């Protein structure tokens, strides 16, 4: 395939991945890595290196907009980043000693889990008194309701959420993704944070997590500028468009479409990994 055509197609795919990653908070890597490995036959570790660069771009593009609009909870994000950063370094170190076949199969499982999570998420609003550590760390907050008002929420089970975030960091470094699915699980299901706050705070966090492991991939030569450049630009543009669209997005419809797409990709990644095609 000619270089110009290859670059254009990768850019278009990266734009779509950035758009979905920004809207859902799950990170563009869950779409980008299957696209590069299955669609363009890129070596999985190089796809993971480019994905980590794109995750940083997604976070940089969307995070500022979400913070400005009052959706992201910066205090929660910075606190949980300690766990994800430690996990990301551990995961990136482990990736060099894991075969691409097994990486593909683990990635497929993560995609299927992300699909289930995307379909099963529900809004949570504060009820009663927040966790005492939430009060001490001032993590509870409020977010815009889209009609000029705000909705208050409380944060609970901080210890369990922190431990889950460590696992999210390990997956990020091991698979070259932002591991937004696990981050959203920790915030939405465990810490009982509303969906829009969970996804936007996840976008704020994934860039720091990815940066922690991207340096290891770069040092090992898995970041190819020819591949990473169109991926970064496409994802960055897509994430900016997604940040503007989130306020008006129909969340249930978005979850349904996203879930079916990544479920199909997850099955294909597992099959190709098992057959040794990656």
Report the pLDDT value the prediction gives residue 278, as an integer from 0 to 100: 54
- Give per-residue pLDDT as tens, 6-47: 899 999 988 988 787 667 656 666 778 888 888 888 888 898
d(C-alpha 104, C-alpha 273), whole Å: 5
- Give per-residue pLDDT as tens, 158-178: 888 888 889 888 877 877 776
Write out the DSSP string of 70-97. Answer: T-S-HHHHHHHHHHHHHHHHHHHHHHTT
Please give the average per-residue pLDDT across 174-186, as a whole number: 74
Band the pLDDT of 126: cuts 50, 70, 90: very low
- Indicate the average pLDDT of the chain: 77
Please give the average per-residue pLDDT across 55-63, as a whole number: 70
Residue keyed to tokens 């057959």: 275
Instruction: Read off the tokens for 130.
Output: 């927040």
Instruction: Read off the tokens for 136.
Output: 């001490």
Please give the average per-residue pLDDT across 267-271, as a whole number: 76
- State the Cα angle at 203 between 29 and 88, rounded to 5°: 60
User: Contact at 8 Å (CB) between 31 and 262?
Assistant: yes
How far are the Cα atoms of 26, 54, 182, 235 from residue 84, in angstroms, in the given order? 15, 18, 10, 22
Band the pLDDT of 190: cuts 50, 70, 90: confident
Percentage, residues of the chain above pLDDT 70: 78
Write out the DSSP string of 162-201. Answer: HHHHHHHHHHHHHHTS--HHHHHIIIIIIS---HHHHHHH
Report the pLDDT value the prediction gives residue 129, as an integer from 0 to 100: 47
DSSP 276: T
Q: Is the model more confident about 119 or about 73?
A: 73
Report the pLDDT value the prediction gives residue 56, as an integer from 0 to 100: 78
Instruction: Read off the tokens for 242.
Output: 């997604």
Report the pLDDT value the prediction gives residue 39, as an integer from 0 to 100: 83
- The helix or strand, by DSSP H or E, that contains position 142, with its residue range, turns out to be strand 141-144
Report the pLDDT value the prediction gives residue 248, as an integer from 0 to 100: 67
Q: Is the model more confident about 132 or about 224?
A: 224
This prediction has a pTM of 0.70
- Give per-residue pLDDT as tens, 224-254: 888 989 988 888 888 778 767 766 666 666 6
- What is the number of domains present in the chain? 1
d(C-alpha 252, C-alpha 196), whole Å: 12
**Domain hosting residue 120, numbered range:** 3-275
Band the pLDDT of 255: cuts 50, 70, 90: low
134, pLDDT greater than 80:
no
260, pLDDT greater than 60:
yes
């Amino acid at each position: 395939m000619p270089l110009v055509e290859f670059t254009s197609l990768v850019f278009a795919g990266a734009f779509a991945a950035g758009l979905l990653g920004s809207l859902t908070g799950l990170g563009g890597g869950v779409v980008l890595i299957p696209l590069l490995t299955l669609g363009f036959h890129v070596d999985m570790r190089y796809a993971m290196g480019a994905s980590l660069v794109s995750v940083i771009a997604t976070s940089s593009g969307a995070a500022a907009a979400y913070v400005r609009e009052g959706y992201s909870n910066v205090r929660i994000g910075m606190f949980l980043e300690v766990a994800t950063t430690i996990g990301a370094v551990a995961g990136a170190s482990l990736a060099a000693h894991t075969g691409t076949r097994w990486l593909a199969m683990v990635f497929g499982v993560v995609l299927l889990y992300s699909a289930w999570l995307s379909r099963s998420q529900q809004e949570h609003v504060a009820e009663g008194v927040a966790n005492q550590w939430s009060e001490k760390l001032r993590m509870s907050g409020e977010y815009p309701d889209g009609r000029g008002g705000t909705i208050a929420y409380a944060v609970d089970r901080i210890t369990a959420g922190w431990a889950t975030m460590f696992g999210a960091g390990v997956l990020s470094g091991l698979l070259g993704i932002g591991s937004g699915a696990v981050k959203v699980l920790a915030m939405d299901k465990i810490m009982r944070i509303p969906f829009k706050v969970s996804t936007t705070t996840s976008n704020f966090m994934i860039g720091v997590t990815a940066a922690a492991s991207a340096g290891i991939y770069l040092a090992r030569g898995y970041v190819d500028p020819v591949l990473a450049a169109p991926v970064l630009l496409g994802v960055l543009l897509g994430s900016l468009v997604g940040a503007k669209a989130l306020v008006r997005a129909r969340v249930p419809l978005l979850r349904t479409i996203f879930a079916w797409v990544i479920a199909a990709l997850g099955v294909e990644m597992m099959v190709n990994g098992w057959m040794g095609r990656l």
